Amino acid sequence: MPVYTVSNVQNLRICVVMVGLPARGKSFISQKIVRYLSWLSIKSKSFNVGNYRRQTGPPQPNAEFFDAKNKEAYKIRQQAVTKAVEDMMNWFVAEQGVVAILDATNSTRERRDWILRLCRENGIEPMFLESWCDDQELVLRNITDVKQTSPDYVGVDPEVAKRDFLERIAKYEEVYEPLDDNIDRDLTFVRLINVAQQVIINKIETYLESRVVFYVMNLHIKPRCIWLSRHGESVYNIEKKIGGDSSLSPRGLQYAKKLPDLVRQSAGDADLTVWTSTLIRTQETAQFLPYKQLQWKALDELDAGVCDGMTYEEIEEKYPEDFKARDEDKYEYRYRGGESYRDVVIRLEPIIMELERQENILIITHQAVLRCIYAYFMNVPQEESPWMSIPLHTLIRLEPRAYGTKVTRIKADIPAVSTYKEKGTSRVGEALTEATKSRHVLTNPSND
């Protein structure tokens, strides 16, 4: 039985129109929003005009290309944005899209008026999101990121790239018209000033828009790490039972004792806060860590309802149809009287919001919950996330960067049972593939 939230039944379609000079973090914000909404099962996609421009224009144009007076280049750039908007409109219809992001500078009022008109003609709510920045240090840091990662500067000498990029920004500055409290007072818009130091929000009308705004307000770009660990091996793990509230096994306790060393190796002297669930096995795992600790009910394991405390064999025998249904759609399947993965994601949303605001955090939680948190940071699709292998006695370090999340896995080298159940069997054993290998999830598509 599907559970709806207000956001996906109102037949609402939103186009987030990014606005801002190059190197203002527009693509970073766009991709974070897509990742957040996709994780919440809200169909969303970013349309980067730079990618369209590279398909028809020169692969590595210099700054002159971005001069508004360069008629030929202007035509190519106009074609790119037209094609991006066309694809976006088709996507809304063909894929029942809910939130599209038009990731481009959209720096003139003329361009924005054109998008506004198209949105209105197609029954789409436009929300303008401007990233405005006059903090030169921030801009320069961003420029360094861009020239290292943009396809426009692959293989180009860093100094040449930087100089050219600064020139390109200057070309945009010549024609740039920021959103204006007065002229644009009838539009739905958000202005982020110097990475949310000041935020101006105008005429937000839907709940979904307000969620996006709140999310963006909570993002920061300070360097930090997030560590994830399952609890140590528990008595129930050994007995192959799911759920419950058992204590650690002797090997689980060994892991708890080793954890402070593992964390110190990875974090050095950095300060961090430990978050656990309210269940005994996570608190026992955290007991030797010399950091501030918080317990969250929202980090408790997926509730298996009537199956709590059973083995997979017992579930297969007693509820064969449920067992089969869960294998067929593990993300949506809700245990009788319990939860689905989708339910867990909804209750984890405040945890994610809080994580975005915080700096160093170590989370000690449970297999299903950890899969959901990991899926958010690594953009793992819903159909894959419930099948990811996240073994016991392993510390995972996530390092969010501007255009990716770096993953490091630190094995404690303490044996533990495998709790991984393969699809189609009730057998618990090692996973065949590890879906959680290091990968970078955000890319820098650069400007239009």
Contact positions vs its own copies (CB under 8 A): 1-6, 9, 181, 185, 196-204, 207, 210, 213-214, 217-218, 244-245, 278, 292, 294-298, 303, 308, 334, 336-337, 339, 343, 346-347, 349-350, 354, 357-358
CB of 153 to its own copies, least distance (A): 34
* CA 112/CA 443 separation, integer angstroms: 25
Cβ atoms within 10 Å of 139's Cβ, excluding its own: 19
CB of 353 to its own copies, least distance (A): 8
Q: Do 386 and 371 contact (CB within 8 A), yes or no? A: yes
**232 a known binding residue?**
yes
If the CB atoms of residues 84 and 373 are measured against its own copies, the closer one turns out to be 373
Q: Which residues pair with 48 in a beta bridge?
A: 103
Residues taking part in catalysis: 231, 317
* CA 205/CA 276 separation, integer angstroms: 37
**131 a known binding residue?**
no
**284 a known binding residue?**
no
If the CB atoms of residues 100 and 355 are measured against its own copies, the closer one turns out to be 355
CB of 242 to its own copies, least distance (A): 13
**220 a known binding residue?**
no
CB of 205 to its own copies, least distance (A): 10
Among candidate residues 363, 362, 369, 414, the one with its CA nearest the CA of residue 390: 369
CB of 354 to its own copies, least distance (A): 6
* CA 356/CA 349 separation, integer angstroms: 11
All residues at 6 or more sequence positions from 73 whose CB lies less than 8 Å from its CB, including other chains? 57, 61, 64, 65, 66, 67
If the CB atoms of residues 79 and 358 are measured against its own copies, the closer one turns out to be 358
Q: What is the DSSP letter of 311?
A: B
What are all long-range contacts of 347-350, with beta carbons under 8 Å and residues at least 24 apart? 347/298, 348/298, 348/299, 348/372, 348/373, 348/376, 349/40, 350/298
**231 a known binding residue?**
yes
**233 a known binding residue?**
yes
If the CB atoms of residues 175 and 346 are measured against its own copies, the closer one turns out to be 346
Q: Do 68 and 170 contact (CB within 8 A), yes or no? A: no
| Residues of the binding site | 230-237, 281
| Residues of the binding site for substrate | 230-237, 281
